[in-house]
Each structure stands twice: as structure tokens, then as C-alpha cells.
């Protein structure tokens, strides 16, 4: 079979998600830097009547130069490729970042004893929002066009392949252009899977790749693979086509581990090794937990009188409640939270559903996550971390591990006040919801690092400020 070099040249500009994030980041840096320049120039024109180098060195405080960095950090959620491709999500994300920026400035303004540059800060926020929105709209118009999408086929039209095809079909904008599927089963030839055609088997794989100018192959065969298919995939890799597993692509697209598509021995074969973090990460994470716990307890001390008074006035005491939860390696501990529900029973003496027992103050506390402030005490004790899976009761864990595959694997790390599942999904009310949350938890446990922890904390801050809790 001839080389695919010529075909590959035609797709050299098609971008991977990681490459898209780099482009987004570089454009955001340019937009934020331009906003900084405009704000300094405008500020200098008003205050000094004429912009000058003297103004730059004498008037501008050192922290003002860091505003583009702060702005980029506040927009960290917009580096999710799915969000980045939607105009509505872009406007929402930029608006939230601008609101938080203004809130932080007002907070510092009232605490500071010095005169702060109101004009410069407001100008920066306005132009950073406008320029970044303009850049993101340009990105959506240009880099989500078909010319920049990877061209992909899925090898395997069974359960795994059809699941991934469904994910791609339901995503907008699409992460790549899915041309079709490849399968050796004669019964699947000339059929469609989730609207995508089955293009043939291993004997026509190389011809299909060249004809459709395929840049990537996603391997989605769960069972035994024929020697002929194995050789065809090796040849495709040698010809410059990128071969990726279905599980890896699912994780990249969804930020979740596909637990229902994994073998029962996956925990021992793959996950356990990946779940062990290095000692340096564990040391730094514990130090950050201590620092974050101290800050959290300080905030708790300031907020406690007001929250306690509100709870007491509406529903009496107690203000705080404790409950047994499972920590790392299944060790039990007492979690500490503000009480958000009242005792209420039906005519037969059974407790009413949680939704009917939540108090008005409790609903506000949950929306703002302020009910979880006392958990910083658990963090200082070493029972919890700032970031990790949600802590659950032992009886619930025992029940769910019989219904959801690999459920107990979430106990390999400390539970957290916030986590990857909490910011991406929220509360689970059904077994199906619990399975989705577990997929997020396992994704975090596999890939946890300081950068991911930092991103989760930033997104949690945006959730709290935006009152998007549950």
C-alpha cells in the first residue's frame, strides 16, 4: 500500500484540543496585554493630561502590571474546548470574570488605606472584557471551521465505538470531524452507527484512511482483535496517522473515565498505578491544605456569628452538625457542617425528603457553599483535603458499590471540600447521576496534580461568587 504522506500534508493544520488551548491562551495574553496598555494610556491622559514616561515610573503601582495575569486566571474555565466554542458560554464566562474582578477591587478598595487607581482598573476590566470577547468570537468563527478539525475514524462499531460516536454527535461544536467507523463484522457493513457510516473492515483500512484524508484513528475494540486488524493499525501508525484508544479520547472529551466500558480488572491492571501520586505532590498538597485550612478557619471565625444568628432565628439550634463519613482508605471521621435542614416528619413518623426539610437560610448557605466552611477544621486535622472526591456516609458507599462499578476506588484519596466532580456535575440524586460523578472522581484521581488542583479551586471560587451551588 502506498504512503499516506500526501494525504497527511493536507491535514497538517488540523488542531488537537491541546493545540487549541495554546492558541486560545496566546490570544488571551495579547488581548489582556492590549487592555493593560489602553488602560495605562487612558489613565495617564486623564491624570497627567499628557501621557509620559514619568507617569509610567512614578504613578503606576507594581501590582497593576499583574492585572493581565489575574484576568487570565479568572477566565480559566474558558479553556474547556467545549465552552470555548460557544458564544453564549464565552459571554457568560467573560461577564463572570469581569464581575469577580470588580468585586475584588471594591473589596481591596475598602480595606486599603491608600488611594487606588479606580480609573485605570475600571478601564482595564472594560477593555479586557471587550477585547477578549472579540478574540474568542474570532476563534469560534475561524478555528472551529471544518478546515481546522481533525478527520477521524473509529475502529470498532460495538458498544465502545457506538458510545463514543454518540458523544461526538451530541457535542457542539464537534471536537473533530468523525468520518465513520471501521469494523470486521460483515453484519455491520453498509450500516450506520449513531448516524455515521461503517466504512469497511481491516482489509480496506489503509485505502479508507487515504481516500478520506484521515488524521486520527480511535481504537474502540473491547474484545479480541484479529491479527489482520492489528497489522493494519500498526501500518497506519507508521504512515503518520495518530492512533488513540477510546478510553483516552473519552477522558479528553468528557473529563470523565468511562466506567461502564472498562473490564472488571481495570482497577488492578491500570488504575492503581496511576492513582499513586509522587511524594513531592503529596507534601506540597498537604502544605497547601494547612495554609488553606488556616485561611478557611479565619473566614469561618468572621462569618460564624452572622450565620449562627441566621440559623438560630429561623429554626433554632443546633447551628453545627456532625456526621460520620468515610475518608481515605475507608477510615471513618466526623464531618463538620452548618445545619441547613430542620427535623420534619410525615404523618407516619418518617422523615420528609431533603428538599422539604431545607430551610430558607440553609438554601442560601448551600447555594453559596457557606455551609461547608466548618469543614476547614477537618482539613487542618488531616481528615480531608481542599480538593478531592465528595465525602460520603459508609452505608451509602456500601449500597452504591454494589450498583456502580469501581465505586470504592474513590476512597484511594482523601475526600475534599471541593473537587472535579463537584464543579462539573453537582449533587447526585440517582444511581445514574452517581455513576457520572464517579467517572469525574476517577478522572481526577488518575490525573491529579498541582495545576489541576489550582484550576478546581479557581472554578470553585467562581461558583461561590456566582451563587451556582446546590
Whether 271 maps to a domain, the answer reads no
232, HSE (Cβ side, Cα atoms, 13 Å): 21
Distance CA 62, CA 14 (A): 41
Q: In the listed set 76, 110, 143, which residue is the last one of a domain according to the structure?
A: 143
Answer whether 209's CB lies under 8 Å from 1's CB: no
Residue-level pLDDT at 286: 95
| Better-scored residue on pLDDT, 289 or 424 | 289
Res. 239: pLDDT tops 50? yes
Omega of the bond leading into 318 within 30 degrees of 0 (cis): yes
Range with lowest mean pLDDT among 43-52, 250-259, 277-286, 358-367? 43-52
**Across the strands, what pairs with 418?**
387
The neighbour count for residue 317, using CB atoms within 10 Å, is 9
Whether residue 137 sits in one domain with residue 184: no
Residue-level pLDDT at 386: 96
Whether residue 154 sits in one domain with residue 138: no
Confidence of residue 1 (pLDDT cuts 50, 70, 90): very low
Whether 102 maps to a domain, the answer reads yes
Residue-level pLDDT at 289: 96
Output the CA–CA distances (angstroms, integers) from residue 78 to 21, 73, 89, 223, 455, in the order listed.
9, 10, 8, 38, 11
| Average pLDDT estimate for 56-78 | 83
Give the mean pLDDT of the chain. Answer: 85
Distance CA 217, CA 210 (A): 12
Q: What is the DSSP string of 298-347?
A: HHHHHHHHHHHHHHHHHH-S-SEEEEEEE-GGG-EEEEEEE--B---B-T
**Cell 456516609 sits at which residue?**
393
Q: Are strands 332-338 and 242-245 parallel, antiparallel or unpaired?
A: unpaired
Q: How do residues 148-191 score in pLDDT, each as one tens digit?
A: 788 899 998 888 999 999 988 988 778 888 999 999 888 888 89
Q: How do residues 327-342 score in pLDDT, each as one tens digit?
A: 999 999 999 999 988 8
Domain interval for residue 120? 17-143
| Average pLDDT estimate for 350-361 | 76
Number of domains in the chain: 3
Whether residue 160 sits in one domain with residue 109: no
Whether 262 maps to a domain, the answer reads no
Range with lowest mean pLDDT among 30-39, 56-65, 136-145, 411-420? 56-65
The answer to pTM > 0.95 is no
Distance CA 9, CA 2 (A): 15
Sheet holding 151-155, edge to edge: 192-193, 196-200, 177-182, 151-155, 216-219, 242-245
Confidence of residue 441 (pLDDT cuts 50, 70, 90): very high
176, HSE (Cβ side, Cα atoms, 13 Å): 26
CA nearest neighbour of 336 among 415, 223, 260: 415
Omega of the bond leading into 173 within 30 degrees of 0 (cis): yes
Whether residue 162 sits in one domain with residue 111: no
Cell representation of residue 359: 430551610
Q: In the listed set 143, 177, 210, which residue is the last one of a domain according to the structure?
A: 143
Phi/psi at 290 (nearest 5 deg)?
-65, -45
Distance CA 355, CA 461 (A): 25
Whether residue 446 sits in one domain with residue 315: yes
Q: Are strands 385-387 and 332-338 parallel, antiparallel or unpaired?
A: unpaired
Residue-level pLDDT at 349: 59
Whether 133 maps to a domain, the answer reads yes
| CATH number of domain containing 196 | 3.40.50.720
Res. 469: pLDDT tops 50? no
Whether residue 310 sits in one domain with residue 249: no
Whether residue 377 sits in one domain with residue 337: yes
Residue-level pLDDT at 48: 55
Whether residue 168 sits in one domain with residue 101: no
Whether residue 166 sits in one domain with residue 137: no
Q: In the listed set 123, 143, 163, which residue is the last one of a domain according to the structure?
A: 143
Residue-level pLDDT at 21: 85
Res. 13: pLDDT tops 90? no
Distance CA 371, CA 303 (A): 11
Whether residue 165 sits in one domain with residue 135: no
CA nearest neighbour of 237 among 280, 191, 206: 206
Whether residue 288 sits in one domain with residue 205: no
Whether 220 maps to a domain, the answer reads yes
Cell representation of residue 107: 473589596
Res. 57: pLDDT tops 80? no
Whether residue 170 sits in one domain with residue 211: yes
412, HSE (Cβ side, Cα atoms, 13 Å): 22
Q: How do residues 244-296 score in pLDDT, each as one tens digit?
A: 888 888 888 888 999 888 877 777 677 777 777 788 999 999 999 999 999 99
Amino acid at each position: 500500500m502506498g504512503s499516506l504522506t500526501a494525504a497527511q500534508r493536507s491535514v497538517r493544520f488540523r488542531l488537537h484540543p491541546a493545540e487549541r488551548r495554546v492558541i486560545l491562551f496566546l490570544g488571551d495574553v495579547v488581548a489582556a496585554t492590549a487592555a493593560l496598555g489602553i488602560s495605562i494610556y487612558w489613565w495617564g491622559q486623564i491624570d497627567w493630561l499628557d501621557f509620559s514616561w514619568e507617569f509610567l515610573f512614578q504613578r503606576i503601582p507594581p501590582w497593576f502590571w499583574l492585572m493581565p495575569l489575574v484576568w487570565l486566571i479568572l477566565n480559566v474555565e474558558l479553556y474547556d474546548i467545549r465552552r470555548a466554542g460557544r458564544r453564549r458560554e464565552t459571554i457568560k464566562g467573560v461577564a463572570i470574570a469581569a464581575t469577580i474582578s470588580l468585586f475584588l477591587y471594591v473589596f481591596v478598595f475598602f480595606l486599603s488605606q491608600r488611594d487606588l487607581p479606580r480609573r485605570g482598573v475600571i478601564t482595564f476590566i472594560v477593555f479586557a472584557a471587550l477585547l477578549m470577547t472579540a478574540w474568542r468570537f474570532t476563534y469560534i468563527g475561524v478555528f472551529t471551521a471544518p478546515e481546522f478539525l481533525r478527520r477521524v475514524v473509529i475502529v470498532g462499531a460495538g458498544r465502545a465505538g457506538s458510545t463514543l460516536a454518540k458523544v461526538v454527535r451530541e457535542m457542539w461544536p464537534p471536537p473533530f470531524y468523525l468520518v465513520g467507523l471501521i469494523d470486521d463484522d460483515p453484519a455491520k457493513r453498509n450500516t450506520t452507527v449513531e448516524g455515521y457510516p461503517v466504512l469497511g473492515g481491516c482489509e480496506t483500512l489503509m485505502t479508507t484512511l487515504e481516500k478520506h484524508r484521515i488524521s486520527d484513528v480511535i481504537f474502540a475494540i473491547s474484545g479480541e482483535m484479529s491479527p489482520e486488524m492489528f497489522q493494519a493499525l500498526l501500518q497506519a501508525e507508521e504512515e503518520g496517522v495518530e492512533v488513540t484508544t477510546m478510553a483516552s479520547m473519552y477522558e479528553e472529551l468528557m473529563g470523565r473515565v468511562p466506567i461502564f466500558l472498562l473490564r472488571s480488572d481495570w482497577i488492578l491492571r491500570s488504575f492503581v498505578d496511576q492513582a499513586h501520586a509522587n511524594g513531592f505532590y503529596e507534601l506540597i498538597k498537604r502544605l497547601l491544605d494547612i495554609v488553606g485550612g488556616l485561611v478557611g478557619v479565619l473566614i469561618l471565625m468572621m462569618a460564624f456569628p452572622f450565620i449562627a444568628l441566621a440559623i438560630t432565628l429561623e429554626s433554632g439550634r443546633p447551628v453545627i452538625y456532625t456526621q460520620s463519613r468515610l475518608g481515605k482508605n475507608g477510615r471513618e471521621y466526623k464531618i463538620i457542617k452548618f445545619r441547613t435542614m430542620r427535623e420534619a416528619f410525615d404523618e407516619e413518623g418518617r422523615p420528609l425528603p431533603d428538599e422539604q426539610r431545607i430551610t430558607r437560610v440553609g438554601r442560601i448557605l448551600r447555594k453559596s457553599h457557606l455551609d461547608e466552611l466548618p469543614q476547614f477544621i477537618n482539613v487542618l486535622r488531616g481528615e480531608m483535603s481542599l480538593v478531592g472526591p465528595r465525602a460520603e456516609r459508609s452505608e451509602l458507599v456500601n449500597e452504591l458499590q454494589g450498583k456502580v462499578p469501581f465505586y470504592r476506588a474513590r476512597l484511594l484519596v482523601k475526600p475534599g471540600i471541593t473537587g472535579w466532580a463537584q464543579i462539573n456535575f453537582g449533587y447526585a440524586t440517582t444511581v445514574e447521576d452517581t455513576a457520572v460523578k464517579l467517572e469525574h472522581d476517577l478522572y481526577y484521581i488518575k490525573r491529579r496534580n498541582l495545576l489541576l488542583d489550582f484550576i478546581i479551586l479557581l472554578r470553585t471560587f467562581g461558583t461561590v461568587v456566582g451563587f451556582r451551588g446546590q
